[in-house]
A and B are shown apart, each in its own frame.
Chain A
Amino acid sequence: MASLELYSPTDLNDALRFMEKEGRNVTIIASGTDLLPRMRRRKVSPSVLLDISSFTEDLRYIRQTNRAIHLGALTTITDLLESPLFDGKLSIIKEAATHFGAPQVRNVATVGGNICSAASSEDLIPVFLSLDASLKLVSSRGERTVPLENFIIGKRETSIRPSEILTEISFNPPAGDSWTGYEKLGRRNILITAIVNEALSLTLEEDLHTISSARVALNRVSGKIPALAAKTNGFLEGKKISDETITEAQRVLSSELSLTSDFRGSGAYRAEVARVYLRRLIERCSKQIGGHF
């Protein structure tokens, strides 16, 4: 760590210029709550850090436009908890934020940092996957928008380009008869890396019985990569909610999960909990919508 460089750009454009030149060697730091412990434990050894934590005017905001909610990448977890926008149908965000880290961590950890870590330990990723979030990635050459579900391509690996900075996360609140839910299992109640972390965004048809869309996302689906449970979601679409459907969906989920074991939990246990949570989330969400269950 002795040869570390910390570059604090004057503004976002300065940062982008720096990334254009040095991007390949640069690690972006916002709060450092994920990066610094990993550096301390020698899991990563960056040589150059780019500090974007001061760009709060540009990158820390929660805005609502016509159909969408836009979160600046530097929005903190506490910001999410304090926003009046995330109750009701979007309570999934507050539920996840409540169980995220601890107060000192929530006060500085950022939504952007969470997503770019792309790790199964990042609680918000399943939430934003279930909400079908989009990411705005900016470089000095322009910007592009990428669906979150295409962004995470491996364990702690994203499709961000070396010259890019994530600036915004946006999503459309689920429309119509819909609800969201979140479950997290850990060995203690706070400050805990999830064993299983599962989010659901459920939309029903007008008959309040048929699933028009289900987006289940987990901290791990295959290996250690947060992802949507695509097969399960595909199965559920168009089905009528019933005990049998849910049981069948659980079987599909089981077949889709390929989970490894580590000291926090075995793959078999994680899969079992994921199945149990699937049932609970579907039942809970459909009940909230006023559906048949």
Chain B
Amino acid sequence: MAKRVITLNVNGTEHPVQVDATDRLIDLLRDQLNLKSVKEGCSTGDCGVCAVLVDGKLVNSCLMLAGQCDGRRVTTLEGLVDDPTMKRMQGSFIANNAAQCGFCTPAMLMASWDLARHSAEPSNEEIKVAISGILCRCTGYYQIIDSVREGCKRGEK
């Protein structure tokens, strides 16, 4: 297939890009747009470290063909670097030792940010569900859950 041009909005900027049929959204984001926070851990949609927001919903970017993304709005961690909610969440992750090897951390932050937008006081169960599609092999999840709970609280510095 000849390359096709699509245009998508990534982190607030319109990007016309050329994609092959086999390119996945993760390839577009990492290789063409240099957004390295998006990680590839399993290539089959089972680990979640590639998770980004597409049209406001958390999605595994390794399971979306780039060619299906024309006109969509994508948000990665890089796009939230100045967002106050994300900054609060990142601070909470640091303070609560939520990042060990760090490979799942961007995806965990995206899922947590998504939760924080909807809830200032999520229950433990709600937090676990929000991150249930992202595998972490290092932390056992507890310190991540603590981080998210604290990071969701509003009205902090």
Spot the interface stretch: A104-112, A244-252, A268-276: A104-112
A43-55: CB near B (< 8 Å → 1, else 0) gives 0000001010110
B35-74: CB near A (< 8 Å → 1, else 0) gives 0000000011110100100000111101111011011000
Are B65 and A104 in contact (CB-based, < 8 A)?
Answer: no
Are A191 and B1 in contact (CB-based, < 8 A)?
Answer: no
- Which residues from chain A contact B59 at a C-beta distance below 8 Å? 104, 107-108
- Which residues from chain B contact A101 at a C-beta distance below 8 Å? 133
Tell me the bound Cα distance from A29 to B24 in angstroms. 13
Q: How far is the CB of A17 from chain B (nearest CB, A)?
A: 19
Are A53 and B132 in contact (CB-based, < 8 A)?
Answer: no
Are A40 and B111 in contact (CB-based, < 8 A)?
Answer: no
Of chain B, the residue at the smallest CB distance from A101 is B133
Are A8 and B67 in contact (CB-based, < 8 A)?
Answer: yes
Are A4 and B63 in contact (CB-based, < 8 A)?
Answer: no
Are B65 and A32 in contact (CB-based, < 8 A)?
Answer: yes
Q: Report which of A5, A33, A51, A191 forms a contact with B68, defined as CB distance below 8 A.
A: A51
- Which residues from chain B contact A103 at a C-beta distance below 8 Å? 58, 111, 129-130, 132-133
Does chain A have a CB within 8 A of B21?
yes
Of chain B, the residue at the smallest CB distance from A106 is B133
Q: How far is the CB of A108 from chain B (nearest CB, A)?
A: 6
Q: How far is the CB of A122 from chain B (nearest CB, A)?
A: 15
Are B51 and A104 in contact (CB-based, < 8 A)?
Answer: yes
Does chain A have a CB within 8 A of B34?
no
Are B44 and A37 in contact (CB-based, < 8 A)?
Answer: yes
Does chain A have a CB within 8 A of B13?
no
- Which residues from chain B contact A1 at a C-beta distance below 8 Å? 22
Q: How far is the CB of B153 from chain A (nearest CB, A)?
A: 22
- Which residues from chain B contact A191 at a C-beta distance below 8 Å? 46, 132-133
- Which residues from chain A contact B4 at a C-beta distance below 8 Å? 6
Q: Report which of A33, A51, A78 forms a contact with B63, defined as CB distance below 8 A.
A: A33
Q: How far is the CB of A180 from chain B (nearest CB, A)?
A: 23
Tell me the bound Cα distance from A108 to B61 in angstroms. 11
Are A6 and B65 in contact (CB-based, < 8 A)?
Answer: yes
Are A2 and B22 in contact (CB-based, < 8 A)?
Answer: yes
Of chain B, the residue at the smallest CB distance from A78 is B57
Q: How far is the CB of B141 from chain A (nearest CB, A)?
A: 12
Known: A32-B64, A103-B132, A108-B64. 12 other contacts (CB 8 A): A4-B22, A6-B1, A6-B68, A8-B67, A29-B65, A33-B60, A36-B62, A36-B65, A41-B44, A53-B68, A104-B60, A105-B133
B contact set with A: CB distance below 8 Å: 1, 4, 21-22, 24, 43-46, 48, 51, 57-60, 62-65, 67-68, 70-71, 111, 129-130, 132-134
A contact set with B: CB distance below 8 Å: 1-2, 4-6, 8, 29, 31-33, 36-37, 40-41, 49, 51, 53-54, 78, 101-105, 107-108, 190-191
Closest 9 CB pairs of A and B: A102-B133, A6-B21, A37-B44, A107-B57, A4-B21, A6-B67, A104-B60, A104-B133, A5-B1
